[in-house]
Chains A and B, each alone.
Chain A
Amino acid sequence: MNNSRKIAIRTEPLYLLFTFLGGAALLFIVAPLMGMALKTSGAELVQTARDAEVQRSIFLTLWTSMVATAIMAAGAIPLAYLLARKEFPLKHLVTSLIDLPIVIPHSAAGIAILGFVAGDSVIGAAGKRMGIHFVGGAAGIMAAMAFVSLPFLINAARDGFHAVPERLEKAALGLGATPARVFFTISVPLAWRAILSGLILMWARGLSEFGAVAVVAYHPIIAPVLIYERFGAFGLKYARPISVLFIGVCLIFFIAARLLSRRQYHASR
């Protein structure tokens, strides 16, 4: 089977054309990144890594995106389960609403979030009373990150729950388990790979957010905003090392999370 596929790709003109076109698309992703990495010297990277502002921004970006993902998962995973399993009024509307943050401009999303969490809003005022400052604070960064990245977790988890045969949940109910027990011992473990994949995607999307965060909380400064600021103030040469460093850190975390999710999947089988 594999052999016949290899032969077909080598000899069939259509597949040769596809290989060429696909290669060009792949190059479009790889070339700018490689170019940027190659144009940055080791000395520049070390110097940037020692910059306290850069360290602070990368650390801030990492933890805010992780906490935003963790907090929103508490609501997103149950919602994904309801969407996968239950019929309810306006379900189609809910499904469409979930994808809204993906399609709207992120600066507009930032404006929406800002209005929602500003000091004169109900949420903003309530946050203030509890000592949480959204505008210009970590909470605001997390709100902006969560807003634009939530659809990735909900959609992945919904597909994951959908792929769990309903019969398994019924069988567990039939054995006397409560619905909560069925959810935690059958549905979640079986959809875990998709949920984990959704968590990683949501986190990665939050990590890379610029537009919405810049509107809600330009300071404290997160890495994508810092890159933009250095580019605006000092030009391409100064924005490049921090970009390479940030991408490198993201890749390390991203690959580690992927490996972890694969190991968990194999362990659960």
Chain B
Amino acid sequence: MLHVENLSKRIGDFALHGINFDVPNGGYFVLLGASGAGKTVLLEMLAGIESCDDGRIRWNDEDITHARIQHRGFSLVYQDQALFPHLSVRANIAYGLRARGMRGHTTQNRFRALARETGVEALLDRMPETLSGGEAQRVALARALAVEPRCLLLDEPIAALDTHARGHMRALLRGLNRQGHTIIHVTHDYEEAISLATHVGVMERGTVVQTGTPEEIFHHPRSEFVARFIGIRNVYKGRLLAAEPEGTPKFTTGNRSFAVLTDASPGPGSLIVRSEDITVSLTRNDTSAQNTFRGIVKDIAPARLGVEVTVEIGVEATAWITNESLRRLQLRLGSEVWTSFKASAARFIEE
């Protein structure tokens, strides 16, 4: 378990302060935050590249707050990969091994296995400047993994990649996590959190304002910042089923099933529906929307503009409506209503 307690650091006008979170061994912790929230500095503090002014970092029962970089066992992958431009891919990956004096047969075997695992075997004699974004990211990952870290720190590892490479990188990261690697991944993209995280933390102005499972964070944002930053309330973990002939694919979560317009392959994943795409009515309307359900109003909360109405339809669905609609429909807690959204408004994110 990685235990971060009251970590703080001041750099010029910017300060990280009171940072607390835990990551269980083998967990995948995604830190969500806007640019300038201090995510990279936090990773550098965990890696030991930057010192902290105050607070503690513990790995299991060991205090590693002031441990030397080499003894921490953390490996950081930068957003722009930071590959050494004057060294070949092979020398880049071997850099950490050489720095730690790791040589010999076992190390070579491990090197080959790692190159195979990260898909960089064919790239070993290339120079970094000739690599595509996805290739460079895989090389950076291989370089970080070569030193056998107990925790992998990733700074926006997917942001700069094209759609195709994103899918590959997600699959690779998920695979590494399944093998038992503990991963801390910082990003500004909530889709990455939904797709990969076992735990999520949200950073705002130099501190972590909320931590929890992805469901907890997305369904119950604890502050307006979190709500506005993640921007999405309706996230459901479940499974996409194969479409019937001539039919729309169905996504099931718990005992509820939604129609989804997608060409994704059947399998586990998450479904997201934006609050503004859900309509609330007192009667069932005959529209093109395939997802129409009867439910009970569980919560009515003012938003920056209008109100958010949460309806229990087997799962919780939050709709964003105007104050005028709230008055016209005379919605109250416990009101019986119909909610609907189109299959094309539901977005499936593969796991």
Contact of A171 among B48, B70, B78, B100 (CB under 8 A): B78
Q: Chain A's nearest CB lies how many Å from the CB of B221?
A: 33
Asked whether A174 lies within 8 Å of B69 as measured between CB atoms, the reply is yes
A170-B44, A170-B49, A269-B127 as given contacts; A175 in contact with B99, CB under 8 Å: yes
B95 within 8 Å of A (CB atoms): yes
Asked whether B127 lies within 8 Å of A167 as measured between CB atoms, the reply is no
Chain A interface bracket (under 10, 10 to 19, 20 to 34, 35 or more): 10 to 19
Complex Cα spacing A174 to B80, Å: 15
Asked whether A167 lies within 8 Å of B80 as measured between CB atoms, the reply is yes
Complex Cα spacing A181 to B100, Å: 11
CB 8 Å contact bits of A146-176 with B (1 = contact, 0 = none): 0000000000000000000101101111111
Please give, as numbers and ranges, the residues of chain A lying within 8 Å of B85 by CB-CB distance.
168, 190, 269
Question: Residue on B with the closest CB to A168?
Answer: B82
A170-B44, A181-B99 as given contacts; A176 in contact with B84, CB under 8 Å: no
A175-B143, A176-B147 as given contacts; A170 in contact with B96, CB under 8 Å: no
A167-B78, A181-B99 as given contacts; A174 in contact with B127, CB under 8 Å: no
B89 within 8 Å of A (CB atoms): no
Complex Cα spacing A176 to B94, Å: 12
Please give, as numbers and ranges, the residues of chain B lying within 8 Å of A178 by CB-CB distance.
99
Asked whether A186 lies within 8 Å of B84 as measured between CB atoms, the reply is yes
A136 within 8 Å of B (CB atoms): no
Question: Which B31-85 residues have C-beta < 8 A from chain A?
Answer: 44, 47-49, 69-70, 74-76, 78, 80, 82, 84-85
B86 within 8 Å of A (CB atoms): yes
**Interface size of B in residues (CB-CB distance below 8 Å):** 24
A189 within 8 Å of B (CB atoms): yes
Please give, as numbers and ranges, the residues of chain B lying within 8 Å of A177 by CB-CB distance.
95-96, 99
Complex Cα spacing A269 to B88, Å: 9
Please give, as numbers and ranges, the residues of chain B lying within 8 Å of A41 by CB-CB distance.
none
Asked whether B75 lies within 8 Å of A174 as measured between CB atoms, the reply is yes
Question: Residue on B with the closest CB to A192?
Answer: B86
Q: Chain A's nearest CB lies how many Å from the CB of B75?
A: 7
A170-B44, A170-B49, A171-B76 as given contacts; A176 in contact with B69, CB under 8 Å: yes
Please give, as numbers and ranges, the residues of chain A lying within 8 Å of B44 by CB-CB distance.
170
Question: Which B106-164 residues have C-beta < 8 A from chain A?
Answer: 127, 129, 143-144, 147
Question: Which A104-151 residues have C-beta < 8 A from chain B?
Answer: none
Q: Chain A's nearest CB lies how many Å from the CB of B158?
A: 18
Complex Cα spacing A170 to B49, Å: 7
Q: Chain A's nearest CB lies how many Å from the CB of B11?
A: 12
Q: Does more than half of chain A's interface fall in helix, strand or loop, or is it mixed?
A: helix
Q: Chain A's nearest CB lies how many Å from the CB of B115?
A: 16
Question: Which A218-252 residues have C-beta < 8 A from chain B?
Answer: none
Asked whether B84 lies within 8 Å of A174 as measured between CB atoms, the reply is no
A176-B70, A176-B99, A176-B100 as given contacts; A170 in contact with B86, CB under 8 Å: no
Q: Chain B's nearest CB lies how many Å from the CB of A194?
A: 14
A165-B82, A268-B86 as given contacts; A172 in contact with B69, CB under 8 Å: no
Please give, as numbers and ranges, the residues of chain A lying within 8 Å of B129 by CB-CB distance.
269
Contact of A170 among B74, B82, B144 (CB under 8 A): B82
Question: Residue on A with the closest CB to B47?
Answer: A174
Asked whether B47 lies within 8 Å of A172 as measured between CB atoms, the reply is no
Contact of B82 among A171, A176, A185, A268 (CB under 8 A): A171
Contact of A175 among B80, B86, B127, B147 (CB under 8 A): B147
A170-B44, A170-B49, A269-B127 as given contacts; A175 in contact with B82, CB under 8 Å: no
Complex Cα spacing A267 to B143, Å: 23
CB 8 Å contact bits of B236-277 with A (1 = contact, 0 = none): 000000000000000000000000000000000000000000
Contact of B95 among A165, A170, A172, A189 (CB under 8 A): A172
Complex Cα spacing A165 to B86, Å: 13
Please give, as numbers and ranges, the residues of chain B lying within 8 Å of A173 by CB-CB distance.
49, 69
Question: Residue on A with the closest CB to B85?
Answer: A190
Please give, as numbers and ranges, the residues of chain B lying within 8 Å of A174 by CB-CB distance.
47-49, 69, 74-76
Please give, as numbers and ranges, the residues of chain B lying within 8 Å of A185 by CB-CB distance.
95
Complex Cα spacing A96 to B86, Å: 33
Most chain A CB inside 10 Å of its own CB: which residue of B48, B85, B144: B85
Complex Cα spacing A171 to B49, Å: 9
Q: Chain A's nearest CB lies how many Å from the CB of B40?
A: 9
Complex Cα spacing A178 to B70, Å: 9
Complex Cα spacing A167 to B334, Å: 56
Complex Cα spacing A248 to B99, Å: 46
Complex Cα spacing A177 to B96, Å: 7
Question: Residue on A with the closest CB to B153?
Answer: A174
Asked whether A189 lies within 8 Å of B99 as measured between CB atoms, the reply is no
Complex Cα spacing A176 to B47, Å: 10
Please give, as numbers and ranges, the residues of chain A lying within 8 Å of B70 by CB-CB distance.
176
Complex Cα spacing A176 to B95, Å: 9
Please give, as numbers and ranges, the residues of chain B lying within 8 Å of A186 by CB-CB distance.
84
14 pairs across A/B with beta carbons < 8 Å? A168-B84, A170-B82, A171-B82, A171-B84, A172-B95, A174-B48, A174-B74, A174-B75, A175-B95, A175-B99, A176-B70, A176-B99, A176-B100, A268-B86
Taking A173-B49, A175-B144, A269-B129 as given, write out 9 further A-B residue pairs in contact, using a Cβ cutoff of 8 Å, ordered by the A residue number. Answer: A168-B84, A170-B82, A171-B78, A174-B49, A174-B69, A176-B69, A176-B70, A176-B100, A269-B127
Interface pairs A-B: 6 shortest CB-CB: A175-B96, A177-B99, A171-B82, A176-B70, A174-B76, A167-B82
